[in-house]
Amino acid sequence: MPGSSKAGAPAQALALHDARPLFEKALVYGVQHGIVGAERLAAMHTEAPKGMVQIARYFGSEFLRPELERARERMVNFISLHLQDATGGDLAQSARLLADHSLLSRSKAGTDLLRQLIALPESSHFGMQGHDEAQVSLLALWSLRSYAQYREELERRSRIGEAVQTALWLAERYALDDDVLEEGDAEGVIRTALVLQALGYRGAEWPSVAVFRKLLTTRRAAGKALGSAAALPSPKGLPSELHAVVDAQKSVVLADLGKLLDPARPLGTLLRPMSALRNRYFLLEDPLGEVDEYLRAAEPLGEDEAPPAAASKTWQRATQGENDEAALLTLFLCLAVGVPKKTLLPEKAAKALVRKLRTKGWEPALAEAFIAEHAPEVHRADYLALWRSFVGEARGTLQDDHDYGLGDALALLRRECHVGE
């Protein structure tokens, strides 16, 4: 009937999603199209139980029914993973692979793909290399995941692997030992190498914080700025396949160099341990070099001049030895609002601080006076700059009476200060 024909047209146009594993779809396709014959099907009926028992034994026990059922699922996934990777999901090609090879060999091919995935680095931090979970547990985990999840993880780990390879190539040029690298990550090494290129560093050794600061000071004095990513050449001799890895970091480095070469921004603040910018770069810690730099800075003093004053006991008690930016800003904020001095605020105390600030106000000058009187003299200018920068950026949010739930204020304090649970 014409009417029924029209009614059926939309239904015919709809393509149903086939959620079956590729192995099952390819096998059905192969049988229907004469690619997989009766003899091959009979062989599969013999191979499948053997493979299931082997897989169940590897991951647990072949004597438990749940383990055998899970082994069947794993075997189907292993074979489907291999077929998808080898053929891109083409049913005819997949069916031919099933006709020409045993199920055990296709299952092993899928297992090998997962082993290769697991062997790739999971983190770009060198200290995490070689500390992955046991391979059996990881293989058990990935054997039950989809091909899409496998591809996503493969791409992620491949990017990490390329970054690690690039960083190791750069480290070799500067004779950096593996033990030294354990404190850093691949991206930090790459970014630092780009900065060294931009600053015209000619040293044969990887720089310490003191050397890095000196390089930046010299460049600031020369008044030379960097205009675009073109001013950040890739290291000479870098293998062509690693150029994309280096290029991906150039925009971040260029933005950071804008701050590092800005005379209005104190280098001590920018390069303070635990600061966001400092953590993006890999620099060697050299305490003796820092002491030498301090002594050289004191050399021009005349006979009647005193060396820079150290921190007062009041400062030492208030900071409790903490000198990272977040701890200091927490302390300064407590002083400005007039609450007990802390370098870490529980969330309840942070809320009370914001409420008091909004009802009774705050006096940032009190924190400035504390810094001027008690902070170590060599760091006073940096601490003042840090505090004034925070006040300028945070004032609007902290004083916003429309932030009824304190959500914005707490988010700011969690980002800039030390706020616990």
Q: What is the pLDDT of residues 217-240, one digit of tens each?
A: 888 887 766 656 566 888 888 999
Amino acid 11: pLDDT: 40
pLDDT at 97 over 70: yes
> Is 375:383 a contact under the CB 8 Å cutoff?
yes
Q: Categorize the per-residue pLDDT at 307 as very low, low, confident or very high, splitting at 50, 70 and 90.
A: low
pLDDT at 300 over 70: no
Q: Which residues pair with 125 in a beta bridge?
A: 185
If one compares 161 and 268, the residue with the highest pLDDT of the two is 161
DSSP track, 309-359: P---HHHHHHHTT--SHHHHHHHHHHHHHTS---SSB-HHHHHHHHHHHHH
Amino acid 316: pLDDT: 86
pTM score > 0.85 for this model? no
If one compares 341 and 180, the residue with the highest pLDDT of the two is 341
Lowest mean pLDDT among 38-42, 48-52, 174-178, 345-349: 174-178
If one compares 88 and 275, the residue with the highest pLDDT of the two is 88
If one compares 256 and 223, the residue with the highest pLDDT of the two is 256
Residues 314-337 have a mean pLDDT of 88
Amino acid 3: pLDDT: 44
Element (H, E) at 395: helix 380-398
pLDDT at 309 over 90: no
Domain ranges across the chain? 20-119, 167-293, 313-416
pLDDT in tens, 386-398: 899 899 989 999 9
If one compares 225 and 280, the residue with the highest pLDDT of the two is 280
Alpha-carbon gap, residue 315 to 82, rounded angstroms: 64
Alpha-carbon gap, residue 74 to 103, rounded angstroms: 13
Amino acid 79: pLDDT: 94
Amino acid 242: pLDDT: 92
